[in-house]
Amino acid sequence: MAELGRAALIVSLGLALYAALAGFWAARTRKRRLADSAGNALLAALGATAVAAAVLLSALIRHDFSFTYVADHTSTELPLGYSVSAFWGGQEGSLLLWLLVLTGYGAAAVLLNRRRAPDLVAWTVPVLAGIASFFAFLLVAVASPFATQNAPAQGAGLNPSLQNPYMLAHPPLLYLGYVGLTVPFAFGMGALLAGRTDERWIVATRRWTLFAWTALGVGQLLGAHWAYVEVGWGGYYAWDPVENAALMPWLAATAFLHSVMIQEKRGMLKVWNMLLVILAFGLSLFGTFLTRSGVVNSIHSFTQSSIGPWFLGFICAVVAFALALVFWRLPLLRSKTRLESLVSREATFLYNNLLLVALCLTILWGVAFPILSELVKGESRTVGRPYYDFFLRTFGLPLLLLMGIGPLVAWRRASLRALRRTFVWPAGVAVAVGILLLALGAGSSAPGLIAYTFSAFVLASVTLEFVRGTRAAGSFTQLVSRNRRRYGGYVVHAAIVLLAVGIAGSSAYGSSSERRLTPGQTMKVGRYTLAYRSVAQRRGPNDLEVRAAVDVYRGRTLIGHVHPGKNTYFAEQQVSNEMAIRTDWLRAEDLDVITDQIDPNGTIYFKALVKPLVNFIWLAGVVFLFGSVVALWPDAREQRRLVSRYALPTPAEA
């Protein structure tokens, strides 16, 4: 079986290389049939990669320990779902998933666009195939998932932290996001190579970018929720380089999604959009490099691996190639129009872009700081949470405010009089909410109070937009169906507000307490009293589970029971903290109880945290997904408009 997997990968590499070279030649010499053949080779590469993936999946499910990868990442005691998730639990498997997703995206992009924009696709295929060739080469020559050995009786098992339902969805979603950014990048480069720098590449890739961005966003929120419920430390984001690796391309893609609208509407920011798509794709590669090279310290610790230098070389080559292309095509990237006023929709988009890119680059600086300080001073230094928190507040709060201002400002030029009339309601609501919160004691955290006030402003402005639009359109459904992207975008803005409220609430207004308790003793945290009753243990399918029984009181009223504890996994010989969470749905507040240390005599060192409004963060994920689906939903009316605007006869038709 391993031979089949190896052969499939070699075939995939061959097809990708053919697609890259033949595609390049075909595009250069305008040979339509050869270009079609290159596109077909990319489709076939998907088939070959799917065979390789099926071989690995089958070995994982069968626990075939003659595959080194299977023995290193599963055990016979591992439940089926986690045996499947071990596919992306290690380096080689996750690289194979990357190639599978990449060839999948490539095939779909070719199939959907080859008739609509053949000249653009002709140049896009070699770019996509070139990137696929790199990953196929890594899998064939550097990190093969099909290395074999004499099968041991038992495998090493999967890291207990990864034995969680979230791990079935979180990594694949991140890959859909990371790899999805390849499509707009490849089309952007294809447009430059073809010399077609109008808006067609943006129109062709708009949904791809939106899909990748949605997957990356939802994937990160799932990861945060996993960290919160599974890692057992009561937090959800630690500004760790590996977490930042996913956040940075998401921020760059967010800027890109906004700035392409200016190019579509006003023909401006063409160079900027190219740079953003290069930044987003470059950062998705950099994130992969970061997690596999061991160049920076991370709690996730993906220490020295053999593919780090390959990735670094590839990133340098890709960025140099892309920037050279942009420089070469600068004369074609001139704006059709210019910014007419600093108070206009496009200007607020521009400010939003500056802030998003500034936030993205300051995070990049923080991540790269250990490497840079080592190079310059000979001593590796790291920046911590205060650095990231400072810039999140400094750039994030104005961004939040802009989300409320942007949608209400007119394109091209807005008069002060119109602005006053438009903003009177949202500003009034924000001031009223601010005063109310101040009276309720929210002034203990200035950033928290500002975040809440700005959030009220954004929600009021989004509501106003919906109300005004519904009045004009006649009905709410008519309004949304007429411009799904716009109103889906507003729903996403509401999700970001929920996220901001959740982050501000749980970080600025939380409380915590820790104490050693023997059965019968109590401790207080916030408005809660915890009474430790007893401890018990039971054997699970692949672990020993110890749980404490704790009663939760508010005042003198018993409101529930929680059972925090620890699991000891046999095969992996590791212990995992199992935090207990009690949610107060009315207040969107969590009480988290952690057993920091369990002594054999039943004494437990408890840690308890109260996280106000933390559930708004998870609710934001649902709203975010809903808004993205609304924006992504096919829109026949828009499609007709775009076809009449951009579709040109193909050479054959001409």
Partner 1 sequence: MQRRGNPARLVIALSVATVLAIFLLYTSIAAQGTPSLQPSQLPGHHGRVTLGGKVVGPVAGNAHDTPLRFRLRDRNGTVTVPVSYRGTVPDMFKVDREVAVDGALVNGVFVAKANTLVTKCPSKYTTKKS
Residue ranges in contact with partner 1 by CB under 8 A:
68, 72-73, 89-91, 94, 156, 158-162, 232-233, 291-292, 297-306, 334-335, 338-339, 341-342, 347, 350-351, 354-355, 358, 362, 365, 369-370, 373, 379-384, 386-387, 390-391, 394-395, 516, 566, 572, 574-577, 596-597, 599, 605, 607
Cα torsion for 505, 509, 515, 520, to the nearest 10°? -70
Q: Decide whether 367 or 408 has the Cβ nearer to partner 1.
A: 367
Whole-number Cα distances in Å, 218 to 102, 121, 165, 592: 19, 29, 15, 23
Q: Decide whether 411 or 646 has the Cβ nearer to partner 1.
A: 411
DSSP labels, 386-410: HHHHHHHHHHHHHHHHHHHHGGGSP
CB of 596 to partner 1, least distance (A): 6
CB of 546 to partner 1, least distance (A): 13
**Burial status of residue 520 (CB atoms within 10 A of its CB: 0-12, 13-18, 19 or more):** exposed
Half-sphere exposure of 470 (CA within 13 A, CB side): 9
Q: Decide whether 103 or 291 has the Cβ nearer to partner 1.
A: 291
What is the bridge-based pairing of β-strands 574-578 and 589-598? unpaired
CB of 345 to partner 1, least distance (A): 13
CB of 7 to partner 1, least distance (A): 23
Q: Decide whether 374 or 551 has the Cβ nearer to partner 1.
A: 374
Assess contact for 51 and 66: CB atoms under 8 A.
Answer: no
Q: Decide whether 118 or 510 has the Cβ nearer to partner 1.
A: 510
Q: Decide whether 84 or 473 has the Cβ nearer to partner 1.
A: 84
CB of 161 to partner 1, least distance (A): 7
Query: Residue 279 belongs to what H/E stretch?
Result: helix 270-293
Assess contact for 499 and 457: CB atoms under 8 A.
Answer: no
CB of 427 to partner 1, least distance (A): 22
CB of 340 to partner 1, least distance (A): 8
* C-alpha span between 65 and 78 (Å, rounded): 13
Whole-number Cα distances in Å, 540 to 158, 450, 595: 16, 47, 19
* C-alpha span between 223 and 174 (Å, rounded): 9
Assess contact for 458 and 493: CB atoms under 8 A.
Answer: yes
Alpha carbon 595 to chain centroid distance? 31
Q: Decide whether 167 or 620 has the Cβ nearer to partner 1.
A: 167
Assess contact for 399 and 355: CB atoms under 8 A.
Answer: yes
CB of 577 to partner 1, least distance (A): 5
What is the residue whose two structure tokens read 């708009």?
206
* C-alpha span between 535 and 512 (Å, rounded): 22
Query: Which of 163, 219, 224 has its CA nearest to residue 578?
Result: 163
Q: Decide whether 390 or 633 has the Cβ nearer to partner 1.
A: 390
CB of 37 to partner 1, least distance (A): 37
**Burial status of residue 488 (CB atoms within 10 A of its CB: 0-12, 13-18, 19 or more):** buried
Q: Decide whether 379 or 653 has the Cβ nearer to partner 1.
A: 379
CB of 66 to partner 1, least distance (A): 16
Q: Decide whether 98 or 187 has the Cβ nearer to partner 1.
A: 98
